[in-house]
Amino acid sequence: MDKIKISNIKIFAYHGVAKEEQRLGQNFEIDVELNLKIKAGISEDLSRTIDYSLVYEIVENNFTNKKYKLIETPAEIIADKLLNLKFIESISLKVRKPNAPINGQFDYVEIEINRNRN
């Protein structure tokens, strides 16, 4: 199985349980890993692979079009949309929240979901 990755997509959005998070917003970071059989390497035909800009657009649009309490929710929506694209067999999606409202020192909170086409 081959992989296409887009790492550390930076998006500003209004997700969180706290009212301040939904009012003020914050930065999020997203990693997408797509598992597929890449057939375009021999032919250089974009129609035989995934268009990276389309993947980015799906991530950005579905992460910013609505406010969610849990970052797991837009992650599930994005995974579902990406799995509907031709060629993608499975996906790994990570969402990081660097400024989660936790009283302590940490780099970020991260969720990871892994989904298969089946």
Please give the average per-residue pLDDT across 58-64, as a whole number.
98
DSSP string for 92-114: EEEEEETT-S-SS--S-EEEEEE
- Distance from C-alpha of 107 to C-alpha of 114, rounded to nearest angstrom: 22
**Mean pLDDT taken over the chain:** 94
- DSSP symbol at 117: -
Domain boundaries, given as residue ranges, for the chain? 2-116
Residue 40 confidence class, pLDDT cut points 50, 70, 90? low
pLDDT of amino acid 1: 85
Alpha helices (H) along the chain: 19-24, 40-43, 52-64, 72-83
Q: Is the pLDDT of residue 118 over 70?
A: yes
- Distance from C-alpha of 60 to C-alpha of 78, rounded to nearest angstrom: 9
Residue 116 confidence class, pLDDT cut points 50, 70, 90? very high
What residues form DSSP beta bridges with 114?
92
- DSSP symbol at 48: G
The backbone torsions φ and ψ at residue 13, rounded to the nearest 5 degrees and listed phi first, read -150, 175
97 is known as an active-site residue: yes
**Fold of the domain spanning 2-116:** GTP Cyclohydrolase I, domain 2 (3.30.1130)
The catalytic position among 5, 10, 39, 97 is 97
- Distance from C-alpha of 74 to C-alpha of 87, rounded to nearest angstrom: 22
pLDDT of amino acid 45: 78
Please give the average per-residue pLDDT across 100-111, as a whole number.
94
Please give the average per-residue pLDDT across 82-100, as a whole number.
96
Residue 84 confidence class, pLDDT cut points 50, 70, 90? very high
Residue 7 confidence class, pLDDT cut points 50, 70, 90? very high
Contact between 92 and 79 (Cβ < 8 Å)? no
